[in-house]
Amino acid sequence: MFGPLNHLRIVEGSAFVAAPLAGLTLAQAGADVIRFDPPGGGLDYRRWPRAESGRSLFWTGLNKGKRSLCVDIRRPEGRELVQALIGAPGEGGGLLLTNFAGMPWLSDEILRARRADVIKLEITGNFDGSNAVDYTVNPAVGLPAMTGTGGRDAPTNHVLPAWDIACGLTAAFGMVSAAMERARTGQGRSISLALSDVAFATVGHLGMLAEAALGGTDRRPSGNDLYGAFGRDFPTADGERVMIVALTPKQWSGLVKVCGIADAVRGLEERLATDLKEEGARYVHREAIAALVAPWVGARPLAEVAAAFDAAGVSWGPYQTVTAALARDPRASTANPLFAMLEQPGVGSVLAAGSPLAAAGEPREPARAAPALGADNDAILGDVLGLPSGAIGKLYDAGIVAREES
């Protein structure tokens, strides 16, 4: 396996989004990520969306390129195998990524008794260890009250689990950072990462906490408008819809030029006693600007709008469904080196993304299929733990390890 992390072996015990995404990110950078699951699969093994076969597209998508150990962790013998795997020797071993918070059998003390330099990264809901998921954290940080148009009385949730994604990527960074530190010092680490900490930290970094604290009021929702500059969605003549963003001076001047509204903008500036080259002014007077842009966009089909905007350097994008993106957008196709067709057992041939990171002068590693449960049992138990075939056979006979029925 090629990749900058191909010297690392990471054991993953996970469910939901953040921890599996962290493992996927590490696997796509070359790490040997071994996830353990109980016979029959874990909490999200059959989560929607699913293929016609019933196979979870959610699970297979988040677990591409990992290896699978299917082991009954309800039994002491199964837990012993996972503990041994985490503590197995090797320069890049001794790494545990999990969101199974607070499990006594995965405690720091037990793991360090097996390997003193273990690195454990545990994802929790809140900093105090209490439960939280993306769909409870997002309302708590205040974003649904400023999304859409309803405000506090009709908050709008977002379909994207943004905090899970941010948390997963942060976890991957944290694991790599700890591994680098261990290579330098020989010391392991026990790291806790709270989903809600990622969310509150991020809204703080974006100035939202300070805005509320200093101003004493909450930001009002403004639909699809871009806060603090000019950005809005507009319908085209052929029933399509585009998002236009004029955040920078170049983007603004390009939009004014292509829409032929320079004289109207100057008149607007004189009437309002403002300078629309300043992005904040464009937000304040967004309704007046939209009234100038809308007729130009509404009189033209999408293809003509796209050609004119691209030629003028306008920042824009089409609104499209996922099926439309697959049908017409080269960014979501094999024309983009990110993607390749992948034969996923139980699903069929699917468009699958590899790592978004592209190294200059090097071909991208294609995505690898998610494993069937227990597909790698023999290799893991034999090669990593050094168990002889007879001992492995006894584990199957006792039901401590299992393979997925095909």
The residues carrying an active-site annotation are 164
**In degrees, to the nearest 5, what angle opens at C-alpha 42 toward C-alphas 71 and 169?**
105
Q: Which amino acid is at 224?
A: N
Q: Looking at beta carbons, which pairs linking 107-114 to residues 24 or more positions away fall under 8 Å? A: 108/190, 110/83, 111/83, 111/86, 111/87, 112/188, 114/83, 114/84, 114/86, 114/87
**Exposed e or buried b per residue across 2-31, where buried means at least 16 C-beta atoms within 10 angstroms of its C-beta:** ebebeebbbbbbbbbbbbbbbbbbbbbbbb
Using CA atoms, how far apart are residues 250 and 187, in angstroms rounded to an integer?
50
Using CA atoms, how far apart are residues 297 and 308, in angstroms rounded to an integer?
10
Query: In 3D, which of 79, 152, 136 has the Cα closest to residue 110?
Result: 79
Across the chain, which distance is largest between two alpha carbons, in Å? Answer: 87
Using CA atoms, how far apart are residues 37 and 375, in angstroms rounded to an integer?
11
Using CA atoms, how far apart are residues 202 and 212, in angstroms rounded to an integer?
14
CB 19 within 8 A of CB 98: yes
Which residues lie across from 317 on neighbouring strands? Answer: 243
Helices 162-185 and 195-205 meet at what angle, rounded to 10? 100
